[in-house]
Structure 1
Amino acid sequence: MLLLQEQDRERLAEELHDNIISQLNLIRLNLNDKKPEDLNRDLKKSMQLIRELSHNLTPPDLDEIELEDLIADYLDQINKNIEVIFRHMTIRTPISNPVKLNLFRIIQELITNILKHAEATRVDVSLRISLNYLILTIEDNGRGFAIENQSGGIGLKNIQSRAQKIKAIYKLKTQPEKGTKFIACMALQ
């Protein structure tokens, strides 16, 4: 748990430094050269990044929301940047809060990676819950990557750790210019 918290802190620091501070610094440097409406637009963009980061850090009230609704709410927020298709077929099966939270964090990590690196125009998310199994699929039409060339970044390690915690098995299928597909399956009994 401490390792995950430390990794989350590192990722937060990286996100603040690479995205938000960098954008705010550009705004500061261009104060005299840009029109007020352009500066306003840039500030709003920075505020949206901070809002998304804050939302990603705040644990949802898991007792009050079903997993498919939690996913749908999150995907609605990112739908502005990319076409998002969410399909779900669920049977009302009780899902524990640790499973909900870890699956939700896996989805956030995957979507963040898609938005940052994939150059995708579309992402398909599918959730199927039966009495005995849960299957999650996330697929994008982005540029993909060669798995053997990846050093196993923090994001992929977090996904692996979270999947292990909830006893989910997963597979990541990708290759350059062919997009990426993530499939996770876990028993619910």
Structure 2
Amino acid sequence: MESWNNSQTVALWLSIVLIFFLFLSISIIYIIRIYLLRIHSEKEKANKLKLEYQTNLIRDSITIQEYERERIAADLHDSLIGKLNSIKYLFYSDEAWSTQEIQSKIEDSIKLTRHISHDLCPPLIEESSLIEIIEEFTYSKPVEVNIQLSLSGVEYENIGKNSKLQLSRISQEILNNIFKHAQADCITIHIHFGSAYFALYFTDNGIGYNTETKNKGLGLKNIMLRSEYLKAFAQPKSKIGKGSSFLILTHKSNLKA
């Protein structure tokens, strides 16, 4: 009888242990399944966000290209063609015009052509330093604006042509925005070559703007798109009535291309 009871007890405990391990196994399998489903869901979400980001990037790139084409077309139509038409009028007009006046208009047309050409691609970009290229952009500033350009850090002129082009375009866009909208009379541009990082910093004492409503234009998208190419951190800051600033920061290894 006691032997039978012992057998029943052993069997009961074995059953309990088996049920416990079965329950534990099912629980572990369930937890692993939930975990894998969550990882899969997060991967799908990340892929969806990446695809959406790439789609927006392509759309913004196309939009900016169209914007640049329209701007160049407007420069050609409103400025250069207007000058050439006025020269044509001088030749066919019965009025007497001096050679000096005609020469002056031709020289203005050449300057406009050079300006449009520089907009398309800065001249001697491989031979010129970044600070020289940015300095050339400052020549088109309004008369009342004072610009202070400075350079600090270790010597580092080994910037790749494409990177230099992107940085020059970013600088040009920022300066044009300040000239057109900031109503500033003082702009500072600082270029810093650190031991590991490169920084490009713009400040102005203009009227400022609301960053929540203004940071959606094509100009900013153009800057952000080019910063993305450089793997750079780009941050505009501004307060109404207190001017604005723009920081571009990237590792120097990103500027070799």
TM-score range, shorter chain: 0.7 to 0.9
Question: Could you say which structure has the higher helix fraction?
Answer: 2
Moved more, 100-109 or 87-96: 87-96
1:10 pairs with 2:73:
no
Q: Distance in 2 between matches of 1:161 and 1:105?
A: 11
| Residue in structure 2 matched with residue 168 of structure 1 by the alignment | 232
What is the 5 A alignment of 1:18-97? 20=79, 51-75=114-138, 77-79=139-141, 81=143, 82-93=145-156, 94-97=158-161
| Residue in structure 2 matched with residue 32 of structure 1 by the alignment | none
Question: Could you say which structure has the higher strand fraction?
Answer: 1
Q: Distance in 1 between matches of 2:112 and 2:203?
A: 23
Q: Contact conserved, 2:141 with 2:179, CA < 8 A, in 1?
A: no
The alpha carbon displacement at 1:10 in A equals: 2.7
From 146, 166, 172, the counterpart of 1:102: 166
Structure 2 residues not aligned, in runs of 5+: 1-57, 87-96
1:37-91 CA-to-partner distances (Å, cap 9, x unmatched) read: xxx9xx798986665444222333222112122222332x135531100011143
Specify which structure has the bigger relative contact order, considering alpha-carbon pairs within 8 angstroms and separated by 6 or more residues.
Answer: 1
State the identity as a percent. Answer: 31
Structure 1 residues not aligned, in runs of 5+: 28-35
Q: Distance in 2 between matches of 1:62 and 1:103?
A: 11
AA matched with 1:66: S
Moved more, 110-119 or 83-92: 83-92
1:181 pairs with 2:245:
yes
Q: Distance in 2 between matches of 1:60 and 1:50?
A: 13
AA matched with 1:145: Y
Structure number with greater Rg is: 2
From 167, 181, 199, the counterpart of 1:135: 199
Q: Distance in 1 between matches of 2:179 and 2:115?
A: 13
Q: Distance in 1 between matches of 2:66 and 2:148?
A: 32
The alpha carbon displacement at 1:7 in A equals: 3.2
Aligned length: 176
Alpha carbons of structure 1 residues 90 and 15: separation in structure 2 relative to 1, 3 Å: farther
* TM-score using structure 2 length: 0.58
AA matched with 2:199: I
The alpha carbon displacement at 1:95 in A equals: 1.1
SS in 2 for 1:109: helix
Q: Distance in 1 between matches of 2:215 and 2:195?
A: 37
What is the 5 A alignment of 1:150-169? 150=214, 152-169=216-233
Alpha carbons of structure 1 residues 49 and 63: separation in structure 2 relative to 1, 3 Å: closer
Q: Distance in 1 between matches of 2:108 and 2:181?
A: 19
SS in 1 for 2:155: coil
Q: Contact conserved, 1:171 with 1:182, CA < 8 A, in 2?
A: yes
